[in-house]
C-alpha cells in the first residue's frame, strides 16, 4: 500500500490516498456512507448532512473531511443511522414529495435512502410549502417542490461556462434554487439529460422522459442504494485472496 495512509472505519482497516475525503476513501474500501449531495470529483458542499460520521467523538460530514493517518471513523452505528433517518424525514416534510406521481420515483436517491433506512412515516408534521414549477425551457422541467437544496446542479451544470442553476433569496425566508431561463433555453437534449441525472430527486427532469423504465426495472427497485459499493467488499476480498 505504497503512498497510502491507514484509516479505520467501524474497526476495519482501510487504505486511502492522502488528501482524499472520507466518503470517497470509504467507497474505495467497499464501505457505503449514505449521502445525497456528494458527487465524485466535484468540490464537496456538505449541504445535505446525511454523510455525518463520527471522527474522534465529533460528528463531521464525510464529504468535506479529508483523511488523516490513523483516523478512526464510526459510520454504521445506530446513533448515526438514526440521525441520518431524521434528516431524510425532515427533507420529506419540508418539500412536496409525492412519490406516487413523481417521474423520478424508483430512481430517486432521497426515496432510496428512505427505503434503506425503512422510513415508515416522517416523525415531523408535513409542511406542504408552496413552491413553483418552471417549465419554460424546451428540454428541462424544473420542479422546486421536490428540491432538497443539495447544490449538485449549482456545482455541476453549466452552459458556455455560466452556471444554469443558482440559489436565490439567500438570507431570506424562502431560499430556493432558480434556473436561468435564457441559459436553460439554449441547453441541448444531452445537457438536459445530464442535469436530470445529476439531480438526486425529481426536481430537474428532462421533458418527455418521465416514467421511462417500468416498475421493477428501476434503479432502486430490487437493491438498496449503496449495494453497488458494498458489493465491492466481496470484490476486494476476492482480489486479496
Partner 1 sequence: MSKPVIATTSLAGCFGCHMSFLDIDERILELIELVEFNKSPIDDIKTFTKQCDIGLIEGGCCNSENIETLKEFRRMCKTLVSLGECAIMGGLPALRNGIPIRECLHEAYINGPTVGLNKENILPNDSELPMILDRVYPCHEIVKIDYFLPGCAPRADLIWNALIALVTGGELQLPYEAFKFD
In the complex, the residues that contact partner 1 under the rule CB under 8 A are: 92, 96, 98-102, 105-106, 111, 114-115, 118-122, 125-126, 128-131, 215, 221-224
Q: Residue 34 in contact with residue 226, Cβ under 8 Å?
A: yes
Minimum distance from residue 206 beta carbon to partner 1 (Å): 19
Minimum distance from residue 118 beta carbon to partner 1 (Å): 6
Cell numbers given for 78: 445506530
Backbone angles phi, psi at 105, to 5 degrees: -50, 135
Sheet containing 140-143: order of strands: 133-134, 140-143, 204-206
Minimum distance from residue 194 beta carbon to partner 1 (Å): 25
Nearer Cβ to partner 1, position 100 or 171? 100
> Bridge partners of 204?
142
Nearer Cβ to partner 1, position 92 or 139? 92
Nearer Cβ to partner 1, position 49 or 131? 131
Nearer Cβ to partner 1, position 66 or 132? 132
Listing DSSP states for 29-68 in one string gives: TT-----SS--TTS-----S-TTEEEETTEEEETTTPBP-
Minimum distance from residue 119 beta carbon to partner 1 (Å): 8
Helix (H) or strand (E) holding 106: none
Amino acid at each position: 500500500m505504497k503512498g497510502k495512509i491507514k484509516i479505520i472505519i467501524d474497526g476495519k482497516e482501510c487504505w486511502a490516498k492522502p488528501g482524499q475525503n472520507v466518503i470517497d476513501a470509504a467507497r474505495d474500501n467497499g464501505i457505503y456512507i449514505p449521502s445525497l449531495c456528494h458527487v465524485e470529483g466535484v468540490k464537496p458542499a456538505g449541504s445535505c448532512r446525511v454523510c455525518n460520521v463520527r471522527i474522534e467523538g465529533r460528528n463531521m460530514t464525510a464529504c468535506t473531511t479529508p483523511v488523516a493517518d490513523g483516523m478512526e471513523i464510526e459510520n454504521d452505528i445506530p446513533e448515526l443511522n438514526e440521525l441520518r433517518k431524521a434528516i431524510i424525514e425532515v427533507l420529506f416534510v419540508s418539500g412536496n414529495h409525492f412519490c406516487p406521481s413523481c417521474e423520478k420515483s424508483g430512481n430517486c436517491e432521497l426515496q432510496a435512502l428512505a427505503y434503506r433506512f425503512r422510513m415508515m412515516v416522517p416523525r415531523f408534521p408535513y409542511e406542504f410549502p408552496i413552491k413553483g414549477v418552471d417549465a419554460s425551457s424546451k428540454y428541462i422541467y424544473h420542479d422546486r417542490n421536490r428540491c432538497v437544496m443539495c447544490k449538485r446542479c449549482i456545482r455541476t451544470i453549466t452552459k458556455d461556462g455560466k452556471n444554469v442553476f443558482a440559489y436565490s433569496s439567500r438570507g431570506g425566508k424562502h431560499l430556493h434554487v432558480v434556473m436561468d431561463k435564457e441559459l436553460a433555453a439554449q441547453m441541448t437534449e444531452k445537457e438536459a439529460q445530464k442535469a436530470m441525472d445529476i439531480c438526486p430527486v425529481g426536481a430537474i427532469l428532462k421533458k418527455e422522459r418521465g416514467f421511462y423504465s417500468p416498475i421493477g426495472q428501476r434503479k432502486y427497485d430490487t437493491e438498496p442504494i449503496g449495494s453497488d459499493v458494498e458489493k465491492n467488499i466481496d470484490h476486494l476480498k476476492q482480489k486479496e485472496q
